Amino acid sequence: MTSTHVDAVVVGGGIVGANCAVQLSRAGLDDIVILERDAPASKASGRAAGNLTIYRHERFGAEASRLGRELYEEYERKYDALTFHRTNSYSIAYSDEGAEHLRSEHESTTIETELLTADELAAREPEFATDNVTGALSFTDAVYTDPKQLTLAAHSVARDEGVALEHQEVCEFDVEGSEIIVQTTTNTYETPNVVVAAGAWTKRLLQRAGTDVALRPRTSQIAILDPPETVDTPMWSAPDLSVYGRSTPEGRVLFGGGTTTPVTDLESFRNRASVPFLRQVGEVAPEILPFLEDATLHDDWAGRVSATPDRYPYIGETEIEGIYVCAGFNGEGISNSPFGARLLADLLVGADPLVDPAAFDPTRYRGNEAFEISDAVQWWADR
C-alpha cells in the first residue's frame, strides 16, 4: 500500500465535497485530493430537484446567497453541459401563520419580491387553485438546473484548478501529531487537513475518527406526474402543505418533499419514493393545481440527505485538530454548499470568515443526543 502526502483530503465527491475542493484551492492550498467511493454525484447530489433556493431565499444571510449565485453562474459559463432554467417562482401560504411568514420575508430580504393576495396570484398564474390561499410571495428570477450536471461542473472546475479526484473508499483515520493518516481500501494519505463532506455518511465517518456530530440521515423524495394536458407552471413551494414543485422541461410536473422519514440502514436504502409520500402528492396535487386531477405517476425516486436539530449545517473544525466537517444541509445542499464550502475554507486557512461561524460550529451539540427530524419544506424561522 502506498502513502501520499497532500495539503488536504476531502472525503465525498458530491456537490459539497466538490465545492469544498474548489474553495480550498482558491484559498491557496496546493495539493488537494477528493476521495469518493462511488461515482461523483451518484448519491443525493445526483438525485435532487435542482431548485437553487439561493435565488429566492437568504437563509444564511444575503452575502451567503449572493456568493452561491455568483459561483454557480461561473460554473454555468464554464461548463457547456450545464443549463440554468430561469422561471418565476412563488412561495404560497395556505394559513394565516404562513401569510405572516411571507410578510416578514418580504420585509427582510434583499432579493426583489412582491407580496400578492390570492386574487393577484390567480390573475398571474391561473393554473393555481387559490380559494384556500392566504397570500403569496413572488420572485421573478428563480433558477433550477440538473443537479448531476451542476456537481460534475464543480468537479470540472476543481480539476482545472489542480484538484485530484480518486475513486477510493475511506475506511479509517489515525491522528499522529499534527498529521492525519487517512486509510482507504487501496492507499494511505498523510495530511494536516481532512474535510469530511460525505453527506448522510458523515456521522459514521466522524465516529471512526473518534468524534461525533448530531446528524440523522433522512429521506428526500420526488414524484413526477404526467398531466392529461401540458400546462407550464412556475416554481413554487407550499410549506403549509409540506411540498414544493415546478414543471419539468419535458412538460411534466415535479413534486418534492416527504422529508421527515429517517434512513435506518444507509446501505440497503431503497431509491424509490415511499407509499405515504406518493399518497400525499396524490391528495395535494389537484388541490394546488386542479389540472392534475387525472394526472398519472410517471416516475419517483428518493435520496439520502442529512438532518441537524436546528436545520443549520455543520461547518468547521471538529474537536479533533485538523479534522473538519461540511455537512448537514437539511435538503438544501445543492443551493447552500457554495457558501458552506467558502466558510469552511475561510476557517481552515484562518481567513476572515464570510459570516459569523458560531451558528455553524460542529461542536454546538454533544453529537449523541436524540432529536426529531423536521420537515425541510416548512416555514423558515431565523435563529
Ligand X SMILES: Cc1cc2nc3c(=O)[nH]c(=O)nc-3n(C[C@H](O)[C@H](O)[C@H](O)COP(=O)(O)OP(=O)(O)OC[C@H]3O[C@@H](n4cnc5c(N)ncnc54)[C@H](O)[C@@H]3O)c2cc1C
Amino acid at 190: E
Q: How far is the CB of 131 from ligand X (least distance, A)?
A: 28
3-state secondary structure of 259: coil
Q: How far is the CB of 282 from ligand X (least distance, A)?
A: 18
Query: Based on CB atoms, which residue is closest to ligand X, 34 or 118?
Result: 34
Which grid cell is 272?
424509490
**What does residue 22 show for φ and ψ, rounded to 5 degrees?**
-60, -45
Using CB under 6 A as the criterion, which residues of the chain lie in contact with ligand X when the complex forms? 11-17, 35-38, 42-45, 47-51, 53, 169-170, 197-201, 205, 220-222, 256, 303, 305, 327, 329, 331-335
Contact (CB, 8 A) for 313 and 327 = yes
Query: Based on CB atoms, which residue is closest to ligand X, 186 or 228?
Result: 186
Burial class of 90 by CB neighbour count within 10 A (0 to 12, 13 to 18, 19+): buried
Q: How far is the CB of 117 from ligand X (least distance, A)?
A: 27
Query: Based on CB atoms, which residue is closest to ligand X, 113 or 221?
Result: 221
Query: Based on CB atoms, which residue is closest to ligand X, 133 or 327?
Result: 327
What distance lies between CA 348 and its chain's CA centroid?
A: 22
Query: Based on CB atoms, which residue is closest to ligand X, 191 or 335?
Result: 335
Which grid cell is 317?
473544525
Strand arrangement, sheet containing 2-5: 2-5, 187-191, 179-184, 170-176
3-state secondary structure of 369: coil
Q: How far is the CB of 9 from ligand X (least distance, A)?
A: 10
Query: Based on CB atoms, which residue is closest to ligand X, 89 or 130?
Result: 89
Query: Based on CB atoms, which residue is closest to ligand X, 340 or 367?
Result: 340
Q: How far is the CB of 96 from ligand X (least distance, A)?
A: 27
Strand arrangement, sheet containing 314-317: 164-167, 32-36, 8-11, 194-196, 323-327, 314-317
Nearest to 199 by CA among 323, 330, 365: 330
Q: How far is the CB of 11 from ligand X (least distance, A)?
A: 5
Q: How far is the CB of 84 from ligand X (least distance, A)?
A: 13
Nearest to 306 by CA among 259, 360, 341, 272: 259
